[in-house]
């Protein structure tokens, strides 16, 4: 089992691209779509498509821990 600690930052697109170019970090643009469903306050399911591959991610969480189960569909 893997536990992930995640922190989100909000940057404008141009700032992010400028920093990647400045640091010579290769990148590409990809179409990424997500559909969310909320089953309960502690359980949700989201479906993602990325580069013609589809995933189902089930999320369970409580006050201190979030668990994600991802499966390719």
Residue 48's domain comprises 29-72
Q: How many structural domains is the chain composed of?
A: 1
Region of 51 on the Ramachandran plot (φ > 0 left; ψ -120 to 50 alpha; else beta): left
For residues 12-17, average pLDDT: 74
pLDDT of residue 7: 61
The radius of gyration of the chain from alpha carbons, rounded to an integer in Å, stands at 16
User: What is the token pair recorded at 65?
Assistant: 């821990």
pTM: 0.55
Provide the percentage of residues in the chain whose pLDDT is more than 70. Answer: 82
Whether 24 is in a domain gets the answer no
pLDDT digits (tens, 9 = 90+) for 31-62: 778 888 878 888 889 999 988 889 999 988 88
């Amino acid at each position: 089992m893997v536990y992930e600690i995640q922190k989100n930052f909000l940057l404008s697109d141009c700032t992010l691209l400028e920093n990647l170019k400045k640091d010579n970090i290769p990148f590409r643009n990809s179409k990424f779509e997500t559909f969310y469903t909320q089953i309960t306050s502690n359980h949700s399911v989201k479906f993602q498509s990325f580069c013609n591959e589809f995933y189902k991610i089930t999320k369970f969480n409580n006050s201190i821990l979030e668990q994600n189960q991802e499966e390719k569909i």
